[in-house]
Structure 1
Amino acid sequence: MDETRVAASYVQLLFEHMARLGRADALGVPPAPTETFVSMRRWQALLEQARDLDPGPKSTFALRLARSIAPRHFGVVGFAALASGTLAEALMRLERYHRSVYDANVAQVHPVSEGLCIEWGVERGRPGALVDETAIAALVQLAREFTGQAVRALAVDFVNPRPADVRPYADFFGGPVRFGQPSTRVVLSLRDLALPLRGADAALLALLDAQAEHLLQEVAAVSEPVGVWRQALVGLIRSGRTSLADLAHSLQMSPRSLQRRLTEQGHSFQTLLGQTRQQLAEAYLRDANVELAEVALLLGYSEQSAFTRAFRQWTGQAPLQWRRQQQRPTA
């Protein structure tokens, strides 16, 4: 599961849940606004930590968490789904763009006699009961949010072992729930699939589809582990934690394992750090309201002179010279 990841917007669901419990800071620093993804290892660890801190029954934590899901937690993909005409169209969009939200295993949507089945295998590993139950419960809850109706699952299967009490699952999903199955799946009825969506908007949908396609292309452009590591570094850089050990800790890996994985991907930690800092630096410098000293601090440099030297190495220009060049009107 090292190479898989979830959208940072999806992880925000967990931090919002803890804030409602009066434990906003219990999980540490949430994903930064500039983060797109969070590693699956970090998501697993955060879920376990939050479950242990939640005062409710541990066995049904994922079901309680999922009740607060909203389209914003799926980012642009969620809003594109909400703007679809029917629930069936929304689910097909979620399947099309699922890798930009959750890529533990490939989602497959196929018709069955009762309606539509959304299924996940175990080819890329088993992320565990907490991850799976949160994802499937969130999907069904999202269908209810989209339609404003009490959508019920005709059937739900999980690959994980059967818990002591399955009644809370049947109550939540509204249908039979099985455990220890070959794949994870949820079946929805034809009647529910035809339900219109509250936010249907054809013009908005066209715009959001274009944005979702662009996001999907960005996801495919960077190898998955490198993308995860780079996004994790963004949050660390902002807080001044820029060592290999800091990154390894955030990914729930040992420094030695991370170093080996970096080498396998043709990277060194310093190269990855430099590329990420350069990307952030250029974004900050395009904003004329951000002072150069602030840029240096945001990138984890204790002195502006150190940032200036690093930026010259990356671009061949001083930061101020680069900023002025970007602001110069083109012919």
Structure 2
Amino acid sequence: MISPHHFGTITSGAIDGLTSIIRSKGGRPEEVYARIGLPPEPGGAEVLPLASFTATLEAAAADTGSTTFGLDYGRVFDIRRLGGVGEVFHCDLTVGGALQKFCRYLPTAQDNTRVRLEVSDDLARLSYEIEDPTVHERAQDANFTLALQHHVVAWLAGPRFRATLVEFRHQPQDDAPDYRHHFDCPVRFGARENALLFPAHWLDAVIPTADPGRCRRVEDDLSGRLAHHTARIDFVAGIEAWIVEALHRGTPVELVGLAADLGMSPRTLQRKLDAAGVAFADLRNRVRLRLARAMLTETRMPVTQIALHLGYSETSAFTRAFKAMTGRSPAAFRAA
């Protein structure tokens, strides 16, 4: 259970470069972002709701027709875009030291998430798990994270590095050979958590760009950030991100579902909404309107498809609701 005022967040640097890889795969980034309610060139805010980031990766996978989109994104992503927690991989003395700092300071870049490094029987195990129960779309995020971790360790350790095993919680979609080809090792699906396993001796590999002085400065900064870290999106923004993800998954957007994810009764959630001065139905309408405006403005998606994405059973229902909120029909709004 998480605090209802602490929805997971991730630094906006995590989507730096996403536009170019979507385009390189024949996708339409403007449509991907519109579906999630992000601006055409996202990254202006310091952080994003974690649910929005994971949903964006899923939308990109669907748009490009690539069930392993996250693997490709993780392979080319520069981990320094995550800030100091990524910078340690370029200045620490050893791979093991950098990974330990990564596990310790990840909350400065992504919170409500657990990363753990364990060593047993000469085997290192780097596990990863989102702990925010309001985040449901996790497969492409797991692909992205494990591919990124594998790429970074392999880059630091050198060309002789080989992972022993990669584990995923999700199941493959007739693409298991693609995973094995990507990691060049066995891959297990349906595991209890996502994890990268490799011979522990690689933890002692020396990082070629090691700079102890610079590493101390980076860690001092990370320690300060971690000590003062607080939730960086408010309760209402977290709920709106939950609504966006639910719409993307095509699941009912109801107060009872949100309450279950937050581990509280609908009555308790209603009291918290009342205290915040908002109504759930109004938030749902606000999110739907924001997404509708983005999809009508930034994409050529048919109005019927937009209506379905927003959870309306009929186009006419969407048209009536949109006109009631804006004074114009969707077609008139798009033509303006």
TM-score by length of 2: 0.63
Taking CA–CA contacts closer than 8 Å with sequence separation of 6 or more, which of the two structures ends up with the larger relative contact order?
Answer: 2
- Aligned residue for 1:84? 92
Q: Secondary structure at the match of 2:125?
A: strand
Which of 177, 186, 211 is the matching residue for 1:176?
Answer: 186
Consecutive unaligned residues of structure 1, counting only runs of 5 or more, are 233-243, 270-331
What is the CA distance between 1:124 and its match in structure 2?
3.9
Cα distance between partner residues in 1 of 2:24 and 2:98: 29
Distance 2:160 2:21 in 1: 22
RMSD: 3.5
Distance 2:171 2:181 in 1: 19
Checking the alignment, whether the CA contact within 8 Å between 2:113 and 2:131 is kept in structure 1 is yes
- 1:71–1:162 Cα change, 3 Å: closer
| Cα distance between partner residues in 1 of 2:177 and 2:139 | 16
Residues in 2 aligned to 1:144 and 1:193: alpha-carbon distance in whole angstroms: 11
Kindly indicate whether the alpha-carbon contact (under 8 Å) linking 1:38 and 1:228 is maintained by their aligned counterparts in 2. no
Superposed, 1:69-108 pairs within 5 Å as: 69-108=77-116
Alignment partner of 1:144 is 2:148: no
- Is the 8 Å Cα contact of residues 10 and 48 (structure 2) preserved in structure 1? yes
Distance 2:147 2:225 in 1: 25
Percent of matched pairs sharing the same residue: 17
Contact 2:61 2:69 (C-alpha < 8 Å) held by counterparts: yes
1:255–1:127 CA distance, 2 compared to 1 (3 A): closer
Measure the CA separation in 1 of the matches of 2:95 and 2:236.
Answer: 31
Deviation string 1:221-269 (CA, Å, 9 cap, x unpaired) is 33x652894xx9xxxxxxxxxxx98x887676879879x6894696457
For 2:206, the equivalent position in structure 1 comes to 196
Q: Is the 8 A contact 2:122 2:201 kept in 1?
A: no
Equivalences for 1:115-154 in 2 at 5 Å? 115-121=123-129, 124-125=132-133, 127-149=137-159, 151-154=161-164
**8 Å contact kept, 1:157–1:183:** yes
Q: Deviations over 1:65-107 (max 9, x none)?
A: 1121213222121112321111111111110111122335312
Q: How far apart are 1:167 and its partner, in Å? A: 1.6
1: CA distance, partners of 2:270 / 2:143:
29
The letter for the 2-side match of 1:172 is H
Work out the number of aligned pairs and report it.
251
Give the residue type in structure 2 aligned to 1:130.
Q
Q: CA deviation at 1:201?
A: 0.6
Q: 1:148 to 1:69 in 2, by over 3 A?
A: farther
* 1:211 equivalent in alignment to 2:215: no
Q: Label 1:51 to 1:152 Cα distance change in 2 as closer, same or farther (>3 A).
A: same
How far residue 43 of structure 1 moved from its aligned partner, in angstroms, is: 1.1
Task: Indicate conservation of the 8 Å contact 1:83/1:199, yes or no.
Answer: yes
Contact 1:99–1:216 (CA under 8 A) maintained in structure 2: yes
What do residues 272-298 of structure 1 show as CA deviations (whole Å, max 9, x unaligned)?
xxxxxxxxxxxxxxxxxxxxxxxxxxx
Q: Contact 1:121 / 1:182 at 8 angstroms: preserved in 2? A: no
Q: How does the TM-score come out when normalised to structure 1? A: 0.64
C-alpha contact 2:170 2:190 (8 A) present in aligned 1? yes
Aligned mate of 2:10, from 6, 17, 29: 6
Taking the aligned partners of 1:262 and 1:177, their CA distance within structure 2 comes to: 46
Q: Deviations over 1:161-202 (max 9, x none)?
A: 243232221222222111111222211212322222132111
Aligned partner of 2:58 in structure 1 is: 48
Structure 2, gaps ≥5 residues long: 34-38, 248-252, 260-268, 279-336
Q: Do the aligned residues in 2 keep the contact of 1:161 with 1:179 (CA within 8 Å)? A: yes
Instruction: Work out whether residues 68 and 140 of structure 2, in 8 Å CA contact, stay in contact via their aligned partners in 1.
Output: no
Aligned partner of residue 10 in structure 2, secondary structure? strand
The residue that corresponds to 1:319 in the other structure is none
Q: 1:235-246 to 2 correspondence within 5 Å?
A: none
Q: Secondary structure at the match of 1:159?
A: coil
